Amino acid sequence: MGFHTILVVMGVSGSGKTTVAEMLAEALGVGFLEGDELHPRSNVEKMRNGTPLTDADRLPWLQAIARRIDDWRARGEAGVVTCSALKRSYRDILIGDRPDVRLVYLRGSHALIHERMAARHEHFMPLGLLDSQFATLQEPGADEHPVVVDVAGSPAEIVAEIIRRLGVAAAAPA
């Protein structure tokens, strides 16, 4: 019996979403989608210039990710997608009433994530937007049934913890 769930890996910029989600998809033997790749060019430019996105800016992006999730679901495929998904209203668009879509929240302190972001290069999210990300963040409630993992560990430790909490076996190495 394979893994038949789509995981939305959420958290603020710098929480390790891309690294963890890529490793998680590989460990589970499922598809991977970097949600940020679906941002319209106008959103990327705004973020690059240090301008926080509005909900109106985010809506077409969230809808594009939801369409990809539904494409996977229609084909009976599992997958892992990254999306900051900072607000409950955003997660409702991505997960809503899809029982085969689960939320994985990478939780970390402002200080830890600030330190990690300061060490990053060539990323479109300026360090100055981290405060607005934390101000926007609505941590998922118990009713969203999230898998909440602290990001203080290494990416491999985080992935192992997510897999343990999901109660699934990792895919056999190729």
Predicted pLDDT of residue 121 = 60
Q: Which long-range contacts (CB under 8 A, 24 or more apart) does 33-42 make?
A: 33/65, 33/68, 33/79, 33/80, 33/81, 33/82, 34/81, 34/82, 35/61, 35/65, 35/81, 35/82, 35/83, 35/84, 36/82, 38/64, 38/65, 38/68
pLDDT reported for residue 132? 82
pTM equals 0.90
Q: In the chain, which residues have pLDDT < 50?
A: 1, 124
| pLDDT of the residue at 48 | 82
Give the per-residue pLDDT at 42: 93
Amino acid 49: pLDDT: 83
Tell me which fold the domain 6-166 belongs to: Rossmann fold (3.40.50)
Task: Please report the pLDDT score of residue 130 as a whole number.
Answer: 79
